[in-house]
Structure 1
Amino acid sequence: MKNAKVVMAFFALAAVLAMCSIGIAVAFKSVIGIFGAIILVCAIMGYGFKTKRQFRDKGLL
């Protein structure tokens, strides 16, 4: 598997874990945790899409 695909798999796993953290924050009834987890999901997914675009532009994907 190419290095770029391993990096993208890492971003996908990190995004899934961040989405799970939303559920954990809901279980603990933490409003700050919920908003923090949502911001974390947006940041991870945004950086992942940015990285994917860079890989695509370089022809690595």
Structure 2
Amino acid sequence: MKNIKWVFVLYSLGAILSMFMIGVAVGVKSYLLALAAIISLIMIMGNGFKTKKKYREQGLL
């Protein structure tokens, strides 16, 4: 339990929520919501990979 990096858990949950919102947006045929969810997904995943790189460079992974 002590090896869990909670920041990555939060990033993954945020990405899952964004993917879920893409499906909801397609279901209700809201292209604006789908676009916002896709942008959100790209930003969350980008920040997650950037944080992972920073952790790896600091030797925390």
Greater helix proportion? 1
Structure 1 residues not aligned, in runs of 5+: none
Normalising by structure 2, what TM-score?
A: 0.90
Match of 2:33 in 1: 33
Q: Which has the higher contact order (CA 8 A, sep 6+)?
A: 1
Match of 1:57 in 2: 57
Identity of aligned residues (%): 45
Structure 2 residues not aligned, in runs of 5+: none
The number of residues matched between the two structures is: 60
Aligned-CA RMSD value: 1.1
Normalising by structure 1, what TM-score?
A: 0.90
